[in-house]
């Protein structure tokens, strides 16, 4: 036998036992996004490399060292999307969706970043993202944050922290950047390699360091909020007022910066303490200049993206997801000669009972071994078509989980018997 082929490091499989958790998380996103007027858009996984270089920023970690970029057979430089916003904005501009009646979009799917794989950090991971275009007021920010909170509550996750910041205009960030660089340079000996590199290329990113050894230097750094321009300050205050009025708690974290260059103004993250350094499960903010950078008319926008792997891990720990759906019933057939009519009977039952999850035993075997299979399938009941039953035009119903007595039912009354059993 030749050696079996393994997956690529950082590219996971979602196993059948994990799939219900994923479906639960995805369904809550879909339900709540729809309730707030967001429409789904499905986007390609591969885009021109230039799209990401232009939008995410040349000197971000993602573009510098994390993208899966390749030259295709035509010689074009293409990239597996590392995030969804750039492609969504590209499509919205190209298809004229920005200024129509419903400029609120959501998407879901895999993203690719060549990071160091660890718990909560993978090379292929999944996001659900939402983007809203055309409005610049803090009301939209407030609603989007409340929507994200409602999704997390819907997932049964109540002990997440909402962190909030405002990055100001690019002019405000530029003057803050100067003050920050001066501070970091005066502590040059205490900066780790990452921080030294970022000091040159993208100093605000130093604030996002996850290295505990960097904490002191970061805590002593000047405060971004002291450098805010008047308009951003007013926007931030109005947003906070709306969140207060809606009863949504938050903490202000002036060290909160985002890893992508297109963010400015409001930024926010939902953070869990249960995931170690990989604690952020949903993050977003304003990107009022991005549409123009990608070639559209200037259009304010705000969006968020949630990390599905991390949310599924939390949902599993909280046991808030439904379990895998075992069959209601498992049909066993004593004589292999009778399989033909068993299949026909099963089809009849599925026609009559749309909620019924029914599995038919195939591959023969003794009645005893078939009943063992029925038990292992997780089914609540076995429908037994033994030779006796078939001769009498009946089936036996055997309770596999409780202690109800086994009973015989006429074949033409099976729908009536099974109907209450497949109510859950
Ligand atoms: P982090 O600071 O954890 O690296 P990020 O700022 O790079 O996250 P975003 O680009 O804002 O993350 O993506 C939004 C969310 O997607 C993150 O909050 C996280 O939940 C998830 N995410 C990002 N990168 C990964 C990854 N490599 N593996 C799994 N989930 C990820
Ligand atoms: Mg990252």
In 3D space, the residue among 64, 42, 68, 41 whose CA is nearest the CA of residue 53 turns out to be 64
Distance 263 CA to ligand 1 centre (A): 15
Question: Is the separation of the CB atoms in 375 and 400 below 8 Å?
Answer: yes
pLDDT value for 209:
85
Domain-located, residue 183? no
Are 50 and 155 found together in one domain?
Answer: yes
256-265, 276-285, 294-303: lowest mean pLDDT where? 256-265
pLDDT value for 424:
66
Ligand found nearest the CA of 269? 1
Closest-lying ligand 1 atom to the alpha carbon of residue 305: 14
Q: Tokens in use for 391?
A: 């001769």
Are 285 and 149 found together in one domain?
Answer: yes
Closest-lying ligand 1 atom to the alpha carbon of residue 82: 10
Please indicate if the annotation marks 83 as binding a ligand: yes
Cα(203)–Cα(190) distance, rounded to whole angstroms? Answer: 15
Q: Whose CA is nearest to atom 19 of ligand 1?
A: 307
Please indicate if the annotation marks 118 as binding a ligand: no
Ligand 1 pocket mutation, candidates 307, 313, 315, criterion most atoms within 8 A of CB: 307
Ligand 1 pocket mutation, candidates 121, 283, 302, 314, criterion most atoms within 8 A of CB: 283
CA distances from 298 to 134, 231, 266, 288, 289 (A): 9, 18, 18, 8, 7
Q: What share of the chain is helix, strand, coil (3-state, %, to 5)?
A: 40, 20, 40
Q: Using the Cα atoms of residue 208, residue 213, residue 216 and residue 222 in order, give the sign of their dihedral.
A: negative
Q: Whose CA is nearest to atom 8 of ligand 1?
A: 280
Question: Is the separation of the CB atoms in 24 and 315 below 8 Å?
Answer: yes
Are 336 and 302 found together in one domain?
Answer: no
Are 152 and 36 found together in one domain?
Answer: yes
Are 244 and 149 found together in one domain?
Answer: yes
Domain-located, residue 297? yes
Stretch 329-333: mean pLDDT:
97
Domain-located, residue 1? no
Kind and range of the H or E element at 42? Answer: none
Q: Is 12 exposed, middle or buried (0-12, 13-18, 19+ CB in 10 A)?
A: middle
**Cα dihedral 131, 133, 135, 137 in deg (nearest 10):** 20
Please indicate if the annotation marks 330 as binding a ligand: no
Domain-located, residue 202? no
Distance 319 CA to ligand 1 centre (A): 23
Domain total of the chain: 2
Q: Are strands 104-112 and 39-40 parallel, antiparallel or unpaired?
A: parallel
Closest-lying ligand 1 atom to the alpha carbon of residue 281: 20
Is residue 321 pLDDT above 80, yes or no? Answer: no
Ligand found nearest the CA of 125? 1
Stretch 101-106: mean pLDDT:
91
Distance spanning both ends of the chain, measured CA to CA? 45
Identify the domain boundary among 266, 298, 318.
Answer: 318
pLDDT value for 194:
86
Q: Whose CA is nearest to atom 23 of ligand 1?
A: 307
Stretch 46-73: mean pLDDT:
91
Q: What angle do CA 254, 257, 263 make, to 5 degrees?
A: 120
pLDDT digits (tens, 9 = 90+) for 186-245: 998 899 988 898 888 889 989 988 888 888 999 999 999 999 999 999 999 999 999 999
How many C-beta atoms lie closer than 10 Å to residue 48's C-beta?
13
Distance 115 CA to ligand 2 centre (A): 8
Domain-located, residue 221? no
Are 313 and 339 found together in one domain?
Answer: no
Q: Which residues is 268 bridged to in the sheet?
A: 164, 284
pTM of the full structure = 0.91
Q: What is the DSSP letter of 60?
A: S
Q: Which residues is 78 bridged to in the sheet?
A: 48, 70
Cα(211)–Cα(227) distance, rounded to whole angstroms? Answer: 25
Identify the domain boundary among 318, 347, 370.
Answer: 318
Please indicate if the annotation marks 407 as binding a ligand: no
Q: Whose CA is nearest to atom 21 of ligand 1?
A: 307
Distance 108 CA to ligand 1 centre (A): 14
Is residue 165 pLDDT above 80, yes or no? Answer: yes
Distance 158 CA to ligand 2 centre (A): 24
Is residue 287 pLDDT above 80, yes or no? Answer: yes
Domain-located, residue 206? no
Q: Is 243 exposed, middle or buried (0-12, 13-18, 19+ CB in 10 A)?
A: buried
Ligand 1: list residues with CB < 6 Å.
83, 113, 115, 120-122, 125, 127, 259, 278, 280-281, 283, 305, 307, 309-310
Is residue 340 pLDDT above 90, yes or no? Answer: yes
Distance 307 CA to ligand 1 centre (A): 6
Identify the domain boundary among 318, 346, 369.
Answer: 318
Distance 259 CA to ligand 2 centre (A): 7
Q: Whose CA is nearest to atom 7 of ligand 1?
A: 259
Closest-lying ligand 1 atom to the alpha carbon of residue 284: 11
Are 358 and 419 found together in one domain?
Answer: yes
Where residue 148 sits, what CATH number does that domain have?
3.30.930.10
Backbone angles phi, psi at 18, to 5 degrees: -90, -20
Are 232 and 350 found together in one domain?
Answer: no
pLDDT value for 261:
77
Are 155 and 62 found together in one domain?
Answer: yes
**pLDDT grade for 102, boundaries at 50, 70 and 90:** confident
Domain-located, residue 5? no
Stretch 69-90: mean pLDDT:
97
Q: Whose CA is nearest to atom 24 of ligand 1?
A: 121
Cα(51)–Cα(301) distance, rounded to whole angstroms? Answer: 17
Distance 106 CA to ligand 1 centre (A): 17
| Residues above pLDDT 90, as percent of the chain | 83
Closest-lying ligand 1 atom to the alpha carbon of residue 121: 28
Are 283 and 352 found together in one domain?
Answer: no
Q: Using the Cα atoms of residue 16, residue 304, residue 282 and residue 218 in order, give the sign of their dihedral.
A: positive
Please indicate if the annotation marks 122 as binding a ligand: no
Please indicate if the annotation marks 365 as binding a ligand: no
pLDDT value for 276:
84
Where residue 377 sits, what CATH number does that domain have?
3.40.50.800
DSSP string covering 247-294, please?
Answer: T---EE-TT---SSTT--SEEEEEE-STTTT--EEEEEEE-TTHHHHT
pLDDT value for 198:
87
pLDDT value for 100:
83
Stretch 349-372: mean pLDDT:
96
Note down the domain range covering 45: 19-168+228-318
């Amino acid at each position: 036998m030749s050696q079996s082929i393994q997956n690529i490091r950082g590219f996971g499989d979602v196993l059948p036992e994990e799939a219900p958790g994923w479906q639960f998380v995805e369904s809550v996103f879909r339900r709540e996004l729809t309730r707030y007027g967001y429409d789904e858009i499905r986007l390609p996984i591969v885009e021109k490399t230039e799209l990401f270089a232009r939008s995410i920023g040349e000197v971000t970690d993602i573009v510098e060292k994390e993208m899966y970029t390749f030259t295709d057979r035509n010689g074009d430089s293409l990239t597996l999307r590392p995030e969804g916003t750039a492609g969504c904005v590209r499509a919205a501009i190209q298809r004229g969706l920005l200024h129509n009646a419903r400029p609120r979009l959501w998407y879901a799917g895999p993203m690719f970043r060549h990071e160091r794989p660890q718990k909560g950090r993978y090379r292929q991971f999944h996001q659900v993202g939402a983007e809203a275009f055309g409005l610049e007021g803090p009301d939209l920010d407030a609603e989007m944050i409340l929507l994200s909170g409602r999704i997390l509550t819907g997932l049964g996750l109540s002990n997440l922290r909402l962190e909030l910041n405002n990055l100001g205009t690019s002019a405000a960030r530029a003057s803050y950047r100067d003050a920050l660089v001066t501070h970091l340079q005066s502590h040059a000996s205490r900066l780790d390699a990452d921080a030294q590199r970022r000091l040159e290329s993208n100093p605000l990113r130093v604030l996002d360091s996850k290295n505990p050894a960097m904490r002191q230097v970061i805590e002593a750094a000047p405060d971004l909020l002291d450098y805010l321009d008047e308009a951003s300050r007013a926007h931030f205050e109005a947003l906070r007022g709306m969140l207060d009025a809606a009863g949504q708690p938050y903490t202000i974290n002036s060290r909160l910066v985002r890893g992508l260059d297109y963010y400015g103004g409001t930024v926010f993250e939902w953070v869990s303490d249960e995931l170690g350094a990989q604690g952020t499960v949903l993050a977003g903010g304003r990107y009022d200049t991005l549409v123009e950078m990608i070639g559209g008319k200037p259009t304010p926008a705000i969006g968020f993206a949630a990390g599905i792997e991390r949310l599924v891990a939390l949902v599993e720990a909280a046991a808030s997801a439904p379990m895998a759906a075992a069959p209601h019933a498992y049909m066993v057939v004593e004589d292999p000669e009778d399989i033909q009519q068993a299949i026909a009977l099963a089809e009849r039952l599925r026609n009559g009972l749309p909620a019924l999850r029914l599995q038919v035993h195939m591959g023969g075997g003794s009645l005893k071994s078939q009943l063992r299979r029925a038990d292992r399938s997780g089914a609540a009941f076995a429908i037994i078509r033994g030779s006796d039953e078939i001769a009498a035009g009946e089936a036996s119903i055997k309770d596999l989980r409780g202690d109800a007595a086994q009973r015989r039912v006429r074949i033409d009354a099976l729908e009536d018997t099974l109907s209450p059993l497949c109510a859950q």
